Structure 1
């Protein structure tokens, strides 16, 4: 019996593209577009540590302190914006956050003096992270459960398309002066706010009629959810490692004689690899054991940063280490976001997403300061070795969480078309 001919390459590409990006609501794609625009101009956070140490002449400890204050603002915003997302709405919270970020990013470029820079960096962090719970809640509102991991992966893809391009270009711009980076970052964030205001409607589900025996979920409800808080705690440990990529790594590379242009190209590899690999790896991840994916991601991230201790003054070896921990990011991000969305009750999504975001914010507060001090006082071997240890401990924690009774959602991902047990479907038409 003759074997039917294989479909042409163009047909296979169209089919793969349709499976990767098809079937998602139009509002999601406007959100995706706004994210891409914002990240294309997202220069400042990536280059802040390098700007403070090489252009302004401040110490690594001060750069770590400023990054930590940025993280402190982010931590406060994570919880506050999560509450506002549920109470006031997703759209107004997101627009206000973007407008504030644009304003204070521009101000930071003109600010002088250690205290003033630290204060404005705190305000940038406060506004910048206020958008995260709202974006995550919008995706959970409008995308069916079976497509959420794919939607979060696509949103993460947009972040890294922008990040990869902006990091590479920003290194060239920075060599002629850093002020332009701050101005362009502010302008892109302003455009993002306009797109959100014009194109993205409010998606907050209507609150159900209150029952006497069912109090409205509050922050206390989130913190008492031990299963969810275990996920947050493990993410915090891993986020402490990941945070070093935009702070301590820049200082270490600068000390090794790596130029700002080389740093931009090396760190831009992170975004480039995510752009190339996120979609095919997300398709490969479908139906695979969630615990195994989280364990693998923790080991890749921890030991990828650990390998930095061997880089010396080689930009190529730094690029290799970035490639290793980038694979871990690709595995971790959509898997974790899908799990958090499943664990979040419909009418408390903002609060749950805010507390999850808090783990990243605390990491951005604690990680730079700890990394800067450890690098300065103990050296690179101790700094990057600690990252490898943290990644290993996080991997062990994911194994224990996957075996914990009653934590089935940590084991196997939800199949396409299924709603996870214990959650409500997204509001129709939202």
Structure 2
């Protein structure tokens, strides 16, 4: 990767109190997110569904999340960051409480779809709120710390979820609901609304239209970035869809599945906070290319895995690579999106993960069943193709970010 000119690193500024409240809410919610981590096993073991049918039901969560991300993005820019987060967390608590007592497969699929819709609405709002309260020069560090918290939470959910599933699935659902409720209350009482009404800093127009997505969808540099992120999301959706099925097929237990993912979490906890210092010397497109190619390699190696140690090795490979991607991804969104539209930009970006959560288990259940280990070769190719895409589109994206930053600064001076 070509290096950028190095400059002395100033002492990091203290991140605002509101950031840490949002950070804590994300950590609590992710750490309690047991249900969807173990949903495939729950459906096949407790509800006696086939692998392909379980994949379809889990995929319904991703289908609901697509609408939830877009709705969350619009609400973030319309009613505010705080209200959107709180609404999402409280609705998630209610749906989880109903889902645990339902046994009909069609009702389960419907509720899983609703759960996907309401649970992800907080995502765009959380990222937009962080971008609002953190200074631009500190955003890379803030988003890196946010990713660290999310990964720590998801790792804890994988490890604890595997243990809880061996004793009580109702307890698993109950603790997930409590974590969502706690996260919502924390934001409700600890964070002020950060959405500012006023002139659009890019166009200079008073009270910009916050309700449509057309402007985002016509943003060519941003939408190319979103498309490449979808390919990234397809890879990492394997960890909650086809990976547990592959490990179970090889005779490994739910606890071993959770432990394997937890090993990756330990690596993130130990090393993620050092990532900004490592990658700041390089261009964001080059960092993303290395990250996605390395992640594809890690998933591709699963085709040769059959023991617990081999699965853990693959997890460690893609974890090291994935650690590089979070800061540049979040920074690119903040650079390309104007303040009053951050919710919509983040919502469109987040749809990639929701769409992948639908496509990955739906298609992966069939490809793993009928193609076997060749499924992982396909996943590897997706990662390599996405890496090449970032190298090709990165220069134009950087130019667009600089032009928008200059325009925003000029309009701010003009308004002052």
**TM-score, with structure 2 as normaliser:** 0.91
Select 1:65's aligned residue among 50, 56, 67: 56
Aligned partners of 1:97, 1:251: CA distance in 2, in Å? 30
Q: Does 1:98 align with 2:89?
A: yes
Residue aligning to 2:183: 192
Q: Residue 424 of structure 1: CA displacement?
A: 5.9
Backbone CA RMSD of aligned residues: 2.3
Select 1:382's aligned residue among 354, 374, 385: 374
Aligned partners of 2:167, 2:11: CA distance in 1, in Å? 43
Residues 70-116 of structure 1 deviation map (CA, whole Å, 9 limit, x = unaligned): 00111001111111110111111110000111111222222212101
- Report matched runs for 1:136-147 at 5 Å: 136-147=127-138
Aligned partners of 1:276, 1:358: CA distance in 2, in Å? 29
SS of 2:49's partner is: coil
Q: Is the 8 A contact 1:344 1:423 kept in 2?
A: no
Residue 203 to residue 212, structure 1, CA distance change in 2 (3 Å): closer
Residue 26 to residue 126, structure 1, CA distance change in 2 (3 Å): same
- Report matched runs for 1:71-86 at 5 Å: 71-86=62-77
Q: Residue 28 of structure 1: CA displacement?
A: 0.3
Q: Is the 8 A contact 2:37 2:161 kept in 1?
A: no
Q: Does 1:396 align with 2:388?
A: yes
SS of 1:207's partner is: coil
Residue 344 to residue 88, structure 1, CA distance change in 2 (3 Å): same
Q: Residue 57 of structure 1: CA displacement?
A: 2.2
Aligned partners of 1:159, 1:63: CA distance in 2, in Å? 26
Residue aligning to 1:317: 310
Aligned partners of 1:237, 1:246: CA distance in 2, in Å? 16
Residue aligning to 1:233: 227
Residue aligning to 2:245: 251
Select 1:34's aligned residue among 9, 21, 25: 25
Aligned partners of 1:273, 1:368: CA distance in 2, in Å? 26
Q: Is the 8 A contact 2:47 2:103 kept in 1?
A: no
Q: Is the 8 A contact 2:95 2:114 kept in 1?
A: yes
Residue 424 to residue 323, structure 1, CA distance change in 2 (3 Å): farther
SS of 2:181's partner is: helix
Aligned partners of 1:122, 1:248: CA distance in 2, in Å? 19
Aligned partners of 1:422, 1:373: CA distance in 2, in Å? 49
Q: Quick check: 45-54 or 294-303, which moved more?
A: 45-54
Residue aligning to 2:165: 174
Residue 421 to residue 276, structure 1, CA distance change in 2 (3 Å): farther
Aligned partners of 1:212, 1:32: CA distance in 2, in Å? 33
Residue aligning to 1:23: 14
Q: Residue 197 of structure 1: CA displacement?
A: 0.2
Q: Quick check: 277-286 or 338-347, which moved more?
A: 277-286
4+ residue runs over 4 A deviation: 209-215, 422-425
Residue aligning to 2:5: none
Q: Does 1:220 align with 2:214?
A: yes
Q: Residue 166 of structure 1: CA displacement?
A: 2.6
Residue correspondences, number: 399
SS of 1:331's partner is: coil
Q: Is the 8 A contact 2:34 2:160 kept in 1?
A: no
Q: Is the 8 A contact 1:50 1:254 kept in 2?
A: no
Residues 237-294 of structure 1 deviation map (CA, whole Å, 9 limit, x = unaligned): 1111111111110111111111011111112222222111110123212232211110
Residue 24 to residue 186, structure 1, CA distance change in 2 (3 Å): same
Q: Residue 49 of structure 1: CA displacement?
A: 1.1
Q: Is the 8 A contact 1:308 1:318 kept in 2?
A: yes
Aligned partners of 1:214, 1:131: CA distance in 2, in Å? 24
Residue aligning to 2:354: 361
SS of 2:182's partner is: helix
Q: Quick check: 79-88 or 261-270, which moved more?
A: 261-270
Aligned partners of 2:298, 2:287: CA distance in 1, in Å? 16
Residues 216-244 of structure 1 deviation map (CA, whole Å, 9 limit, x = unaligned): 36311000000000000000111111111
Q: Quick check: 171-180 or 340-349, which moved more?
A: 171-180
5+ residue gaps in structure 2? 1-8
